Structures are given as C-alpha cells and as structure tokens.
Amino acid sequence: MLLGSTGSIGVNTLRVVDNLGNDFDVVGLAAGRNAQLLGEQARRFNASHVALAAEAHAGAIRGELNGTRLHLGADAAREMVEAADADVLVAAVVGAAGLPATLAAIRKGMMIALANKETLVAAGELVNPLMRQHGTTLVPVDSEHSAIFQCLQTANGAEQRKTVKRIVLTASGGPFRKATRKQIERATVAEALNHPTWDMGPKITIDSATMMNKALEIIEAHWLFDLAADEIDVIIHPQSVVHSFVEFTDHSVLAQLGPPDMKTPIQYALTYPDRSPGCSDPMDWATLSSLEFEPPDHERFPSLGLAYRVIETGGTSGAVMNAANEAAVEAFLGERIRFGGIVPLVAEAMDAIKPRPVTDLDTVLEADRAARAFVRDRIDR
C-alpha cells in the first residue's frame, strides 16, 4: 500500500515495484489532488483500493476504476488502510497529513517503509510505543536514515548499540550553500527550487534550501535510533554520494554510498532484510574524483538549531515546528512571504505555543492546528 503515490517518492516506489516484478502486488494507492495520475497508476497496477483527499477532484477518476474501491475526503487514506489487506505500507505523503493513516497501519501490524519524516517529528512519542505494542517493523526510506539503518545492521542488539559514538547525517547544502545571508534572505521561488543534486517535490526542495529538511531529519534520527541530541551531527557533502555514516567508540566509521537516486533506499526498505537487483544506475568510481565535506553554517541556516531544541524540549514542540514550517513554506511558494521569513516564523511559533505532553493523536493535531493558525495570523498582520 502506497500513501503519496503521485509524488516523487511515490512515483519512484512504483518504478521499484515494476523492477521487482511479481514479488509485490499494489493493494492501495493514496494521493492528495492529482486524480488523473492516481487513476492511471491504479489501472496500471490493478490496485483494489484508491484514496483521494481532494474530493472536488474526484470527477477525473470516478467511474474510471472498474472493481476498485474509491475512498474520498480528508480521512480517505486512513479509511483505505483500515479497509484494505496489505503487508507493507510505504508512507510517502508530504507533511503531517499521513499521520493518521500511518498510525492505523501500525495498529494493523503492517511493516512501515517510512518516507514521511514528519510522522516521527510530530508524533514520535506516540509512534514508537505503538510500534512496540503491535510488533511493527519500521524501515526508513529517507536516503540518510536508510544509510544509518544499513550501517547499524552491524551493531544489532542493545549491548552492541552501546558501541555507537554518534551518527552523522550528510546534507547537500542545497542551492544556497555558498550564498550570503543577504542573498538567502532575498531568494526567489525559482532560485530556492533549483536543487543542485536531488529531484524532489517543491515542499521538500524548499526545506532543503532552508536546511529545515535536515533539521527534521535530526529529530527523526532521534526517534528512529534512540539517540540523544549530542549523538547526532550534520555535515555538508555537496556531491550527495555519502548518504550518512556511523562513528563507533573505537573511532571506526561505516558509511553508505550510492548515487543520489531514491530508488535504492526505497527498494531496500521494500525487500528488507534481503537485497534484490536494483534499478538505479550503479556508482561510476572511475569518474568520482573527489568527495567534499564542510561543517554547516548555523548562522546562515538557523533551522538546524531548532531541531536540537525540539529534542531537548519534547512534547508537542515537534508538531509545532513541523506545522509552522509547512504553513510558512506554503506561504513562500505562494509568494506571500520572503524566503528569509520562513525559519523566523517557525521559531516565533515555537516561542509562542507552549509544548504539551503527547498523550494521543488529538494532542498532536491540536498543536498542528495552533501552529498553522499562528503562522497564518502573523502573515496576515
């Protein structure tokens, strides 16, 4: 089952499924508003369930799917997960929208291939205990977390995990790696969407430009690997070949390398713990002349500091940070705020909205709504 099938990760997931042949059946597909592509995918992969969040767009798909059950509305993805019978959920919806459906899949004991970092950022305190309760396996799809996950296969078990000193998430640096603070402040939408190495959707690309994407990954790594804030570092690596690495207490380092192609981590998550012949281009070592690394500039990219603040604060602070960022990025893409205003708006929301303990999904969603309302109000004023 695939949430976010029409986005970049979703399209690549279906390419991987195509490559794997008869090993996988696509049971369900969910999308936001791209009904035409969703319908094409459902017919191509003979999906028995389809979910579309934007009910107003249903005319492009209604009546076109013979024998396929259509779920419509804001809660369609969760309804599809609860109604369909599947073994694996690929959670690739951008933002917090996929959280209810992912929690429903965990309750059903489905394996989760997680490409939606916001699930753990906003609700890690809910997700991890629920996974333990239902015996669910979660395999990360983000290239950085997939890299760490693969490296840590050599350190299974609580005792061996104690040999991990830290993990280091690599970041391309985005389009503004060499830009001045003034250039970053005044960046246009076109400039911010011009990522140098990765082909991603607009929201994730903007997050990469502010380095908020890496901030979200820091928080996700905290929940995925049970690491403290001071055990998670970031380093800029513009080639995007080393996807991340683990340093052990004896100072040995294991890294995972590969071309900047999301099909490799997607396939690893689907076939875990096995490996199958891939559909990505292999590394061309003869043309790889150098690998560059440099520390991140926290003054030009203050979003990184917000991530460590969330880990230390806990509670709903992650939900507030994530929702405020989603609202601010949406405003920037709509040219209602400047690029340099995104991260300050997120920080203001975190200052204004007091974090609460995460007790249930409603608590997370309330914090999410409050953060979005705060950002909208600040922009309107």
Domain CATH number, residue 349: 1.10.1740.10
The pLDDT assigned to 183 comes to: 94
What is the structure's pLDDT at 160? 64
- In the chain, the amino acid numbered 279 is C
Distance CA 119, CA 102 (A): 8
What was the pLDDT predicted at 214?
96
**Domain assignment of residue 297, yes or no:** no
pLDDT for position 161? 72
Contact status, residue 215 vs residue 307, Cβ threshold 8 Å: yes
The domain spanning residue 116 has which CATH number?
A: 3.40.50.720
Is residue 215, in this structure, part of any structural domain at all? no
How many CB atoms within 10 Å of residue 333? 16
Residue 66 counted as domain residue: yes
State the pLDDT at residue 3: 97
Asked if residue 328 is part of any domain, the answer here is: yes
Q: Which of 136, 164, 179 is the last residue of a domain?
A: 136
Spatial contact of 333 and 206, defined as CB atoms under 8 Å apart: yes
Q: Are strands 164-171 and 232-236 parallel, antiparallel or unpaired?
A: parallel
Q: Does 46 map to a domain?
A: yes
Q: Is residue 174 part of a domain?
A: no
pLDDT at 227: 94
- What is the enclosing helix (H) or strand (E) of 334? none
Residue-level pLDDT at 59: 84
**Of 136, 167, 186, which residue constitutes the final position of a domain?**
136
The C-alpha angle with vertex 240 and arms to 190 and 41, in degrees rounded to 5, equals 65
- If one counts the domains in the chain, the total is 2
> Residue 346: which domain range?
314-381
Structure confidence at residue 64 (pLDDT):
77
- 112-121 residue pLDDT tens: 999 988 899 9
Give a yes or no: residue 223 inside a domain: no
d(CA 197, CA 190): 15
Asked if residue 362 is part of any domain, the answer here is yes
* Cis bond upstream, residue 273 (ω within 30): yes
Q: Which parts of the chain sit beneath pLDDT 70? A: 154-160
What are the tens digits of pLDDT across the range 82-114?
999 999 999 999 777 889 999 999 999 999 999
The count of other CB atoms within 10 Å of the CB of residue 259 is 17
Say what the pLDDT of residue 273 is: 92
The pLDDT tens digits of the residues spanning 121-155 come to: 999 999 999 999 999 999 999 999 999 999 998 66
Domain boundary residue, one of 82, 115, 136: 136
Residue 41 tokens read as 């995918």
